Amino acid sequence: MPQVSENSHLEAQEVKKRDFHPRSPLFLTLIALALGISVEVLFNGHPLGISFPIWAALCVAAIFGMTALERARPARQIMVLAVPILVFAFLVFLRLEPMTVFLNVVLTLTLFTLWVHAFANERLLDYGWLDFLAALTLVPLESWIRPWSVIRDAKQQVLGEERNRSQLTSILWGLLMALPILVIFTALLSAADLVFADYVNTALHWLNFDRIREWIGRGLIILISAIFFLGALALALLNSGKRDLAKKEKPPFKPFLGVTEAWVVLGSVDLLFVSFVAIQFAYLFGGQANITAMGYTYSEYARRGFGELVAVAFLTLGLILTFSIWTSRENRHQRTWFNVLSTILVALIVVILSSALMRLMLYERAYGFTRLRTYTHMAILWMAILFAAFLVLLLTQQLRRFPIALVIVAMGFTLTLNILNVDAFIVRQNAKTLTSHYDINELDAYYLSTLSDDAVPELVRLAEIAPEDERSELLSQLACRRSLLTARSLQVGWQSFHLSHTKAQHLLDGMQDQLAKYRVRQERIFFEGHGYLPGDWMVSGPEGEVYCLQQR
């Protein structure tokens, strides 16, 4: 009997250990509430701008504050993540090009997720595929599970134990919980019965329901965000430093292929790639004369197969990774030959990527740069770096760390796009065609005018040297952009203040004399029952009236 009692006591202690009880649940809850309020103030109805780096800085400050408050001991290497988090968040304020902004936001959120998952774990660099999968899937899910015990502790800290609580306090707490429930049921019943709705409207005629609905919506955003942030903070502190990694010794699949089968597959692919590379050296790398001798134009040859070559590179990476996991290599001889065949395959893939890059460069020289071509151009260079890192990890038997290499390459690629300034780069490269000797199509002023405000400094320079027809088209669209920026500044709040918009506005205001002959107006369209509503923006000048391409 005493043994049973002792076991029950141990089980109760274990359950209590798994539950998270912070030192200061009220302060932790208030920190989460402040972050929830920041989400509503910074993002609700506001395009991204200075708001995103402010929010990221608040989250970083909250994590550091939580660390001091709870006397936690975060891992030194995990705290370094604050630097790239703040850098990528700031770059959202610096760039407007859509893909660059998207990658900046995704990387910021991904790094935050890793921070929460490995808050006090000194082994972040040992994270494997399963650990990354756990971080990216379990952290968002567990953040909805963990806050409730903290809320319960905070409630007890404020109100005291239920048995010691006064009757008045209990009534007030019950009314507070009943209020949102009554609002929801009253709204549903009013929608179900018109007579009941009339009584409700008569009783509550003094209330501004539009304002109430607005405040309820804003309150829900704050509440939902605060609960999520509280769960994330609690998750970081829960069992801090004791999170187990997926076992290194046990791969996700037990090797079931013999090394001979792997040699045959890898060797066969090597031979195929050798023949392909030989053709590339004879024709693509050999110059235009060899291609035209086969009956193809340079642009036709460059256009074909680019996507397929990139797909081959990724499939090859997956092939080597799969065989490295599923193939049993029991001695040094087997591992050596597997590594040799894999190394040859990676080297050939680098040559194939060079072929894809050359095709893209030929196509860019013939038809100019676009966003997609620029993304791909940079991606190929970083893919080559990724393959080199993969090869090093394979030869040193550290493939478990390949996801870390993948994250680092993704960060490098995103930083490259930010430093390059994609839209400005496109204008700059296409402007070079005006003075180059290449046989190209005429300048696509229409496409260049659709780019974001990141491109405005280069568009202003281009307008000075462009031929008369393109110059007139560029100036008319710059006049459009100036009017749209002025309208935007009157419509958005400080949360959407953006460096690129501000710089563009300053440059275009300095061109007032050149843009004076272009008149920009916004159409007003009549809709029955709604009256006149704003329509498209139009610009008229010496060449007639056209649509503004940068509609907002």
Return the axis-axis angle of helices 371-395 and 332-367, rounded to nearest 10°: 170
- In a shared domain, residues 112 and 161: yes
Cα separation, 457 vs 469, in Å, equals 20
Whose tokens are 């036709």? That residue is 300
Cα atoms in the Cβ-side hemisphere of radius 13 Å centred on 502: 10
297 within domain boundaries: yes
- Is the predicted pLDDT of residue 465 greater than 50, yes or no? yes
**Which pLDDT tens digit goes with each residue over 14-49?**
434 455 677 788 888 889 999 999 999 999 989 999
- Is the predicted pLDDT of residue 57 greater than 80, yes or no? yes
- Is the predicted pLDDT of residue 314 greater than 70, yes or no? yes
- In a shared domain, residues 416 and 432: no
- In a shared domain, residues 462 and 322: no
466 within domain boundaries: yes
What percentage of the chain's residues is helix, strand, coil (to nearest 5)? 75, 5, 20
Domain hosting 344: range is: 259-420
Predicted local distance difference test score (pLDDT) of residue 286: 46
Highest mean pLDDT among 262-266, 463-467, 484-488: 484-488
Predicted local distance difference test score (pLDDT) of residue 9: 43
Judging by beta carbons within 10 Å of its beta carbon (0-12, 13-18, 19+), is residue 69 exposed, middle or buried?
Answer: middle
Structure-block tokens of residue 309: 């070559």
Judging by beta carbons within 10 Å of its beta carbon (0-12, 13-18, 19+), is residue 532 exposed, middle or buried?
Answer: exposed
- In a shared domain, residues 445 and 526: yes
- In a shared domain, residues 209 and 228: yes
Cα separation, 345 vs 351, in Å, equals 10
- In a shared domain, residues 446 and 336: no
- In a shared domain, residues 273 and 241: no
Residue ranges of the alpha helices (H) in 71-193? 76-79, 82-94, 98-117, 129-142, 147-159, 167-192
552 within domain boundaries: no
- In a shared domain, residues 360 and 469: no
Structure-block tokens of residue 113: 């997720």
- Is the predicted pLDDT of residue 167 greater than 50, yes or no? yes
Residue 245 or residue 284, greater confidence? 245
**Which pLDDT tens digit goes with each residue over 238-252?**
755 455 565 554 555
Predicted local distance difference test score (pLDDT) of residue 80: 83
DSSP string computed for 436-471: S-S--PPP-HHHHHTS-GGGHHHHHHHHHHS-HHHH
Structure-block tokens of residue 406: 């993948």
222 within domain boundaries: yes
Neighbours of 92 (CB within 10 A): 25
How many percent of the chain have pLDDT more than 70?
Answer: 78
Residue 59 or residue 543, greater confidence? 59
Distance of CA 282 to the CA centre of its chain: 41
- In a shared domain, residues 311 and 202: no
Residue 366 or residue 393, greater confidence? 393
pLDDT band at residue 176 using 50, 70 and 90 as cut-offs: confident
Question: What is the tally of structural domains in the chain?
Answer: 3
pLDDT band at residue 126 using 50, 70 and 90 as cut-offs: confident
Structural Rg of the chain based on CA atoms = 31
Q: Which DSSP symbol is given to 80?
A: T
254 within domain boundaries: no
Judging by beta carbons within 10 Å of its beta carbon (0-12, 13-18, 19+), is residue 128 exposed, middle or buried?
Answer: buried
- In a shared domain, residues 455 and 541: yes
pLDDT band at residue 417 using 50, 70 and 90 as cut-offs: very high
User: Could you say which of 227, 247, 267 is where a domain stops?
Assistant: 247
Structure-block tokens of residue 414: 């995103």
- Is the predicted pLDDT of residue 7 greater than 50, yes or no? no
User: Could you say which of 420, 447, 462 is where a domain stops?
Assistant: 420
- In a shared domain, residues 401 and 525: no
- In a shared domain, residues 443 and 375: no
Contact yes or no for 362/297 (Cβ under 8 A): no
- Is the predicted pLDDT of residue 436 greater than 70, yes or no? no
253 within domain boundaries: no
373 within domain boundaries: yes
Residue 30 or residue 254, greater confidence? 30
Predicted local distance difference test score (pLDDT) of residue 374: 87
252 within domain boundaries: no
pLDDT band at residue 422 using 50, 70 and 90 as cut-offs: very high
3-state secondary structure of 294: coil
Which of the residue ranges 46-55, 196-205, 285-294, 418-427 would you say has the lowest mean pLDDT? 285-294
Cα separation, 385 vs 81, in Å, equals 22
Neighbours of 50 (CB within 10 A): 18
Distance of CA 425 to the CA centre of its chain: 21
**Which pLDDT tens digit goes with each residue over 335-371?**
787 778 888 888 888 887 777 777 677 667 766 788 8
Cα separation, 257 vs 272, in Å, equals 22
Which of the residue ranges 122-136, 200-214, 243-257, 490-504 would you say has the lowest mean pLDDT? 243-257
Predicted local distance difference test score (pLDDT) of residue 408: 92
| 339-340-346 Cα angle (round to 5) | 85
pLDDT band at residue 518 using 50, 70 and 90 as cut-offs: confident
Cα separation, 78 vs 500, in Å, equals 32
User: Could you say which of 395, 420, 445 is where a domain stops?
Assistant: 420
**pTM of the prediction?**
0.80
